[in-house]
A and B are shown apart, each in its own frame.
Chain A
Amino acid sequence: MTSSSSPLSDEMNAPYARFGQFTPQIRAFLRNPAGVAGVSLLLLMLLMALTASFFYPGDPLDMAGQPLLRPGQDAHFPLGTDSLGRDVVAGLVHGSRVSLLIGFSAVCVSLLIGTLIGTIAGYFGGRLDDLLVHLTELFQTLPNFLFVIVLVTIGQPSVTLISLSIGVASWPTIARLVRAEFRSLRESDFVMAARSLGYSNARIIFHEILPNALPPIIVTTSVMVATAILNESALSFLGLGDPNRVSWGSMIGDGREMLRTAWYLTAFPGAMIVIAVLSLNLVGDALNDALNPRLRSAS
């Protein structure tokens, strides 16, 4: 179709007004109310995690007041205390640290492994590709969460180990995506041009192909952070988390037995998980629209 190009874009006319590379994408993103809401919530949560020790110094696992105060009962503990007298707000605030930390570092691990394997398989092809695809499939057929549990129970549960385990269990998604992008971009004319100019493989991979493969990877990453946070919560709920750190999942796990008498002990951390996952999904959707020129309406 020819309708997309300007009718006056001919040889002798100066090209259209200049904008930076990313401004249309960012503008499209900012036009999307869901995306803006998602980013705002995420930023708030990040702020909360960063200022946790400032507003709530000390260990959130220490007893702070009378046990089982209901929300609003004591102005000191606006969301109440649990059966051991620990402040729920302090738990939520400190819990956001663990959840976000594990969420992002787990995805970094899977990005690293997934991009590496996907790049090698997609760019070089051939036997190596076959081998790596089989490896990816092997990992993909393992039930994701069970695999994480197995890995975590092998060692001492700690934030590092949990991040690593979740990352190791989730890289196949990234690897398949990266491989597909590389396979199609490898055949494009500008890569042919780069090869005919004698560019090294590393230069072609990092300089020519990767910047073009980035949009779908970014979108997937945002959704994977949400999944990692859920996985961490599920681990902590089962009591497999780091016992020395409070997390939203462990708070739900602890409060589970008192669900009927002290509902707020599970409801508040539950709500935090919902908000975190929701905001990441909103960001993912908005990024998908903003980075895809076909979905980005020009108005």
Chain B
Amino acid sequence: MTPLLEIGALNVSFPGIDAVRDFDLSIHAKETLALVGESGCGKSVTALSLMRLLPPQARVEGSISFEGRNLLALPLSEMRALRGGAISMIFQEPMTSLNPVLSIGRQLSEALQCHEGLSARAAKKRAIELLDLVKIPEPARRIDDFAHNLSGGQRQRVMIAMAVACRPRLLIADEPTTALDVTIQAQILELLDRLRHEFSMSLLLITHDLGLVGQWADRVAVMYAGRKVEEAPTRRLFEHPAHPYSRGLLDTSLHLDRELHYRSARLPEIRRETGEDGEVTFTLTEASPQRIPSPPASVTPILSLRDVRTHYPTPRGKLAAVDGVSLDIRRGQTIGLVGESGCGKSTLSKTILRLLEPSDGSILLDGQDITHLAENQLRPLRRKAQMIFQDPFGSLNPRHSIETILDSVLSVHGLQGRSERHARIAEAIDHVGLTRQSLARYPHEFSGGQRQRIGIARALILKPSLVICDEPVSALDVSIQAQILNLLVELKRDFGLSYLFISHDLSVVRYIADEVFVMRDGKFVEHGDHRRIWESPQHDYTRALIEAVPTRKAPELAAA
């Protein structure tokens, strides 16, 4: 049987960068193929080259044949007829891929009228059917809604409805669930899988998350630095990965069914080195035992929150983003805070650092009430509590060199001597595993993981006792997550730090936290010891969160 899509010797280059090199892949009818790789590995570029949607400066060579036709040689008018017709695509960001000024019904029927030549009335009828198909409640009423009336998950459903509107033979899903909450991710993937059967189409699932793939894909292709390093049926890849990089991805990714905890084990890491001939070699370190003793229960808390509330003014009155939470963090303890986006966890972290004003309750930092301190009284206390931010690209000022970034922290906190500051900066940069040469460089010259190390150095240079980590690894690639988590654990051991670790990723929290708080709608719904909460969750919401995490095992039916 000839494959539906066959890519041969594909090369895509941008000025100065080879994005995809010598890439081949085939997708058969009715199968799901997962293309897995880290950000920048060229997987999105491959998808866009299938649709011929790359920017004009891209040079594409090779062949892409779809149902026997070479897409790269097709005239633009025929290509346009294919896009959204026989091949369609859904994107990562459901917030921006819908047009905000057109109703969702209009956008859906537009595709139908354009590709299938339906009349306006027939298109609307079909649009309602499609919304029903993707499980939008009350489709006949929702059809006149605009994008802002829908939640993130619903928007992605509408995107999917648009993508399958013309019964494509191939659906390309580029990170379809990355921007969504865990509980919704599973539903979206299930929907995609159901539609694939219903419309007998093929699915190209592009993702950085290997955990996602096990359940849904028939075959997996792993990509690294523009090349395909391995391609295998899902089950074989999970059981016997052939390439060291794929093995590394499997080993370093955290998952809930794995019993690793930072007090007893160090995470495996994947390290890569580029040889002189440009060849990249991978070395994999195994999970190794380590012992970090728990702090005694009698230690005084470094942070106490009592009934803290934070309100946001909205046109409809005040909205309680944090609604009466209390917690204690003891010295040397790591508290994990989990919850879905919008639950108030970031608001809480900003309130603790007084970046937002609490409207009620009290915040005690190291025994001192800081709830109503003025900024100049607060400044000397700020060195006790620091923060590591989620976005390693946005949290460093692009106009300053790393040395300036670190140096101004010290000078603001009254360290006058130049040589002393120099020594502190050098020490900080050593601790986070960067070279001294990095100091003269600017943030844009570093990779995501390196930037996060700089962010950590900035937070630690004042020698704080408490560090608030707001999703510190969610913007990083899987293999780098492990390195950063190991670094955080080392620093905790060396400096006796306490962490408030905020994440939506339960598997990360499972590894790093001693005690876990589950947050929903501004309130804590459950909290408990790290073992207890995973083994016997009490609250329905906690259970739903845990169940929604994709299991990593390949399904038994994958071969069918």
Is B236 located at the chain interface by the 8 A CB criterion? no
Identify which of residues 29-63 in chain B touch chain A, using a CB-to-CB cut-off of 8 Å.
Answer: 38-45, 48, 54, 57-58
B45 and A196: CB pair below 8 A? Answer: no
Q: Does B173 contact A (CB under 8 A)?
A: no
Cβ of B397 and Cβ of A208 under 8 Å apart? yes
Q: Are A21 and B399 in contact (CB under 8 A)?
A: yes
Q: Which residue of B lies closest to A210 (CB)?
A: B399
Q: With A7-B41, A190-B395, A211-B399 given, is the CB distance from A199 to B408 under 8 Å?
A: yes
In the complex, the answer to whether A212 meets B399 with C-beta atoms within 8 Å is yes
Contact of B395 among A6, A16, A189 (CB under 8 A): A189
Among A14-34, those with CB < 8 Å from B are 15-16, 18, 21
In the bound complex, how far is the Cα of B273 from the Cα of A10, in angstroms? Answer: 10
Say yes or no: is A1 at the interface (Cβ < 8 Å to chain B).
yes
Q: Which residues 243-260 in A have Cβ within 8 Å of B in the complex?
A: none
- Kindly list chain B residues whose C-beta atoms are within 8 Å of the C-beta of A134: none
The distance in angstroms between the C-alpha atoms of A84 and B513, with both chains bound, is 90
Contact B225 A7 (CB under 8 A): yes
Given the complex, which residues of A lie within 8 Å of B398, measured CB to CB?
212
CA distance A12 to B477 in the complex (A): 13
A5 to B446, CA, bound (A): 10
Contacts A7-B41, A9-B40, A21-B399 given; indicate if A298 touches B378 (C-beta within 8 A).
no
The closest CB in chain B to the CB of A195 belongs to B355
Contact of A6 among B40, B355, B394 (CB under 8 A): B40
Give the chain A neighbours of B383 by CB distance below 8 A.
Answer: 198
- Complex Cα spacing A299 to B16, Å: 8
Which residue in chain B gives the minimum CB-CB distance to A192? B355
In the bound assembly, the distance between CA atoms of A84 and B408 in angstroms comes to 64
Given contacts A189-B389, A193-B387, A208-B397, contact A298 B16 (CB under 8 A): yes
**List of B residues within 8 angstroms of A299 by Cβ:** 15, 57
- CB-based nearest A residue for B397: A190
Verify if A13 is at the interface (C-beta below 8 Å from B).
Answer: yes
CA distance A272 to B379 in the complex (A): 57
Q: Which residues of A contact B386 (CB under 8 A)?
A: 196-197
Q: Known contacts A10-B272, A12-B272, A299-B15; decide if A198 and B441 are in contact (CB<8 Å).
A: no
Residues in A whose Cβ lies below 8 Å from that of B280: 8
B336 within 8 A of A: no
Q: Contact check: which of B41, B399, B413, B455 meets A198 at CB < 8 Å?
A: B413
Complex contact B17–A7 (CB within 8 A):
yes
Number of interface residues of A (CB under 8 A): 36
- In B112-159, the 8 Å CB interface with A consists of none
How far, in Å, is B277 (CB) from chain A's closest CB?
A: 14
Task: Assess the B450–A15 pair: CB atoms within 8 A.
Answer: yes
How many A-B residue pairs lie within 8 Å, measured between CB atoms?
A: 130
Q: Chain B interface: which size bin?
A: 35 or more
Q: Which of B41, B42, B408, B447 contacts A203 (CB 8 A)?
A: B408
- Whether B396 lies near A11 (C-beta < 8 A) is no
**Contacts of B57 on A, CB cut-off 8 Å?**
297-299
A40: interface (CB < 8 Å): no
* Known interface pairs A193-B387, A197-B382; A2-B40 also in contact (CB < 8 Å): yes
Q: By the criterion CB–CB under 8 Å, are B394 and A188 in contact?
A: yes
**Which residue of A is nearest B17, CB measured?**
A6
Distance, CA A193 to CA B273, complexed state (A): 32
1/0 contact trace for A111-142 toward B, CB 8 Å? 00000000000000000000000000000000
Q: Which residues of A are found within 8 Å of B40, using beta-carbon distances? A: 2-3, 5-7, 9
* Contact A11 B483, beta carbon cutoff 8 Å: yes
Complex CA–CA separation, A289 to B264 (angstroms): 54
CB nearest to A16 among chain B residues: B445
Is B18 an interface residue, CB under 8 A from the partner?
yes
Q: Are B272 and A207 in contact (CB under 8 A)?
A: no
A193 x B41 contact (CB < 8 A):
no
Shortest Cβ distance from A12 into B: residue? B272
Q: Is the CB of B408 within 8 A of A192?
A: no
Please indicate the chain B residues that have their CB under 8 angstroms from the CB of A21 in the complex: 399, 442
A212 to chain B, nearest CB (A): 6
CA A72 – CA B43 in complex, angstroms?
A: 69
**B379, A198: Cβ atoms under 8 Å?**
yes
Chain A's closest residue to B409 (CB) is A197
Contact assessment for B445 and A3 in the assembled complex, using a CB-CB cutoff below 8 Å: no
Among A11, A12, A189, A192, the most chain B Cβ lie within 10 Å of the Cβ of A11
Q: Is residue B226 within 8 Å, beta carbon to beta carbon, of the partner chain?
A: yes
- Which chain A residue lies CB-closest to B91? A1
Task: Please give 11 more A-B residue pairs, beta carbons under 8 A apart, in addition to A193-B389, A298-B15.
Answer: A2-B39, A2-B40, A7-B19, A9-B40, A10-B480, A11-B272, A11-B483, A13-B447, A15-B447, A18-B441, A297-B57
Please give me the 8 A-B residue pairs with the lowest Cβ-Cβ distance, nearest first.
Answer: A189-B395, A198-B382, A189-B394, A198-B379, A211-B399, A5-B40, A15-B445, A11-B449
A-B contact pairs, 22 of them (CB 8 A): A2-B41, A3-B54, A7-B40, A11-B483, A15-B445, A18-B441, A189-B389, A190-B395, A192-B387, A193-B389, A195-B355, A196-B353, A196-B382, A196-B387, A197-B382, A197-B458, A198-B383, A198-B412, A211-B397, A211-B399, A298-B57, A299-B57
